[in-house]
Chains A and B, each alone.
Chain A
Amino acid sequence: MDLSGLDPIIEAIRSGVSVGVRGTRSRTVPITGVQPDTWVGAPVGVIDFQPDEMTVRVRAGTSIAELSSELGTRGQFVHGIDSGVGTVGGALACGRSGLHRLGRGSIRDVALEVRLIDHRGNLVKAGGPTVKNVSGFDLCRLFVGSFGVLGFAHEFVLRTRPRPLAECWFVAPVSEAEEVARIQRGFYRPSSILWDGREVHLCLTGHPSDIDAQIAGSRFSWQPVGAPEVPTDWRQGTVRPADVASIVEREAGRVIAQVGTGTIHRPGPSARREEQPERRGIVHRLLAEFNPRRLLNPHVDTESL
């Protein structure tokens, strides 16, 4: 393994000052206001793409664009890391699954192996390179969404998957929660259902004839549209999926809900979850083990983790 690019990061960590790791800083992360003494970046490059294994070994600082174009040559992609600005390490550290969470599952499931530099400057490996693995505890899922406070990632093995034959977005006017539930029950494993209280955006993937047949069999007046976008300054929050209907009805036009998953996008900051002391206890002990002096990413507000 080529570890040469890691020396500066290891040195920075071992020097005893506080260190931040950044990708392209495109991400809004919860901020404390404390700035690290030094910034480092992760090494770059796709190391090994194995289309018949559906895995790719990639360095953490690789841009999402570079990874996508490499995987695209064989019609594959990594869910949650397939478009937009930023780095692979940044995307995984933030752990957002994107608008296709309903059909494609969580970005937390894509990291098979994570290689980290810990707070002592030691190299730590979690997980393994195969698509299935229960050897030891699942530290990979703990890294995804950790905003880099448990260690700095330098390399990943990620699960890839084939692109669907077709991916089509449709829109229909829908203002009643009952109707949304009908859509949820009546379509086969849609990739995404977005609702703002006025219209539903629906994404279907697979064979074009199957998509046509599903749309033709639906009693809603679906129109094909381009992929919708959530305004970049909106913030994401999570609610009980069963509460989505009442929230959207109340806030129609000022909210976009990912129906079935409970993810809600709003213009302002979302309410913090109610925190239980027992959960905080575990988080604090994890931080005490993995970041005891808070020298790794001190700018990240760990109270929201």
Chain B
Amino acid sequence: MTLIHDLTAGLPAGAVTIDRVDTMLYAHDASDFVGRTGAVCFPETTEQVCHVVRTCAKHDVPFVARGSGTGLAGGATPLDGAVVIVLTRMNRILEIDPINRMAWVEPGVLNLDLTRGVEQSDDLFGLHFAPDPSSQQSCTIGGNVANNSGGPHCLADGVTSAHVLACEVVLSDGSIVLLGSEGSEDDGLDLRGAFVGSEGMFGIATKICVRLTQNPPHVRTMLLDFESVRAGADTVGAIIAAGIVPAALEMMDKLCLQAVEAYIHAGLPVDAAAVLLVEVTGLPHQVEAEADLIARIGREKGARHVRVAQDEAERALLWKGRKTAFGAIARIKPNYYLHDTVVPRGALPEVLDRIYEIARRHELLVLNVFHAGDGNLHPLLVFDRREPGVLDRVHAAGEEIVRVSVEAGGVLSGEHGIGLEKKDFMPLLFDDHDLSAQIAVRHAFDPIGLANPRKVLPSPAACGDLRHVPEGAWI
């Protein structure tokens, strides 16, 4: 029996395709890596996921879980003719417990749909799902779990792992296991914690129990603008050192501001070198005290203006500036490459200087719009793919940015994951013993190695020799 025949046997009509257009469509995520798809399946139940996974095991073919394909590191890119398991048809919110603030959802529920589905719950303050990646209109909860995704409001509330209580997972032999529990503190090994962030390499999440968070009753959103990037970065450290953990603390540099202002006309200070978007949330006295202190710290550090949103409309406008940055950038050049390193907050000014220098040397434009509060940089190299040789320059600059971040005491990725993109950079952070431990954990979850293989962990040949395109994929 062929793979396709076996797959079809356990799935509803039309839930398997090897159509050329479909396989091409699912050969990549939102990154530049293109792989090779064996087949695409659209299961609707956990049982059907088990069937696909068991069939893959029978034929010794790898499988790749896929949510919306918005991943930026090639995590959902199939290699070697892997079967792509698309989870977007499993998109129901199964159960909401508003009192204990949790919900069971299927993995294909979109991040924003979850919040929309719970916000009317019976709680004095209303509820939401705290992780808010900029892609929240389109990315799935399953993808968020697999990448341990973050967002602007994760500074105070924590990234996805802090909001996942349990996962039902289909392992690579087709068995089903429950990791974690609704009760948040089981004794024993935290297999749930290990699963979150495993980028589809430990198994497929088919049900997820998420924690819900009360909406803040009071919010202050403010925009501080600076004549130098350094003054802005210093303000970030000073706010944290003063004992304030804002709900969000984001930075945009000049080029980014100009692009955004041309796009949305929000009256942004386009002559500033950098702005900070700061949001404090909670109960009124605390919020007002913190907002006053932040304004004072900002002025001491050289802020020219402190614009405080006067109403919900102005707040939405300021956030629109931050959230549409990616769209705005498309007006400068058609393509961008987004990096995602993290550095200690104190190293932000130096590392940003180095990033500008690297871009200049490679004759590239770079815009910075990022989660300054946790030192999570997002340098965007913008370019036009049609320009001969430009991709080589983009990759060379990107590699230097990663190296500079690690040298400054930072790490490879804050929220996008390692996937294919950064797997061969892993030896910059981890030695052979460290990597063996990671391989051992993966082996414990997936002894047969068919769940999304050849991601995250460096290719054996590539240690020390950083290549960007793994065999079987192209850019």
Contact = CB atoms under 8 A, between A and B. Distances in A.
Contacts of A105: 158, 162
Residue from A75, A186, A282, A304 with most neighbouring chain B CB atoms (10 Å)? A282
Contact of A122 (B376, B416, B433): B433
B286 A132 contact: no
B171 interface: yes
A293 B237 CA distance: 47
Interface in B398-457: 409-418, 422, 426, 429-431, 433-434, 436-438, 440-445, 447, 456-457
Main secondary structure of the interface of B (DSSP, over half): loop
Given A213-B283, A305-B189, A278 B171 contact: yes
Given A142-B190, A206-B283, A207-B283, A136 B430 contact: yes
A114 B125 CA distance: 37
Contacts of B431: 125
B184 interface: yes
A142 B415 contact: no
A130 interface: yes
Residue from A50, A124, A136, A138 with most neighbouring chain B CB atoms (10 Å)? A136
Nearest to A151: B437
A53 B345 contact: yes
A161 B430 CA distance: 27
Interface in B110-161: 122-125, 147-148, 150, 154, 158-159, 161
A108 B437 contact: no
Interface in A137-195: 137-139, 141-142, 144-146, 150, 161-163, 165, 181, 184-186, 188-189
A229 interface: no
A241 B176 contact: no
A30 B187 CA distance: 10
Nearest to B184: A261
B199 to A, nearest CB: 8
Interface residues of A, number: 84
Interface stretch (B57-65, B224-232, B238-246): B238-246
B20 interface: no
B463 interface: no
B286 A206 contact: yes
Interface in B335-357: 342-346
Contacts of B475: none
Contact of B181 (A74, A95, A125, A238): A238
A136 B429 contact: yes
A219 interface: no
A273 B410 CA distance: 40
B97 interface: yes
B250 interface: no
A241 B375 contact: no
Interface in A211-227: 213-214
A54 B422 CA distance: 27
Contact of A132 (B189, B283, B374, B437): B374
Interface in A49-107: 50-55, 74-76, 95-97, 101, 105-106
Contacts, number: 268
Interface stretch (A14-22, A31-39, A283-291): A283-291
B241 A129 contact: no
Interface in B220-273: 237-238, 240-241, 243-245
Contacts of A128: 342, 410-411, 429
Nearest to B410: A130
B45 interface: no
Residue from A95, A116, A135, A285 with most neighbouring chain B CB atoms (10 Å)? A135
Interface stretch (B24-32, B98-106, B464-472): B98-106
Contact of B437 (A51, A74, A124): A124
B419 to A, nearest CB: 10
Contacts of A47: none
Interface string B194-234: 10111001000000000001101100000000000000000
A138 B214 contact: no
B145 to A, nearest CB: 12
B361 interface: no
A147 B314 CA distance: 51
Interface string A234-247: 00101111100000
Interface of B: 97-102, 122-125, 147-148, 150, 154, 158-159, 161-162, 171, 175-179, 181-191, 193-194, 196-198, 201, 213-214, 216-217, 237-238, 240-241, 243-245, 282-286, 289, 342-346, 371, 374-376, 409-418, 422, 426, 429-431, 433-434, 436-438, 440-445, 447, 456-457
Give the 5 A-B CB pairs with smallest separation, nearest first.
A141-B193, A262-B183, A238-B183, A210-B283, A162-B243
Given A133-B413, A278-B177, 7 more contacts: A54-B240, A133-B411, A188-B214, A188-B216, A210-B283, A241-B97, A305-B189
27 contacts: A52-B238, A105-B158, A106-B162, A116-B437, A130-B375, A130-B409, A130-B414, A133-B342, A133-B414, A134-B159, A134-B415, A134-B418, A135-B426, A136-B457, A137-B194, A138-B194, A141-B161, A145-B188, A162-B243, A185-B98, A188-B282, A210-B284, A241-B102, A276-B177, A288-B444, A305-B188, A305-B189
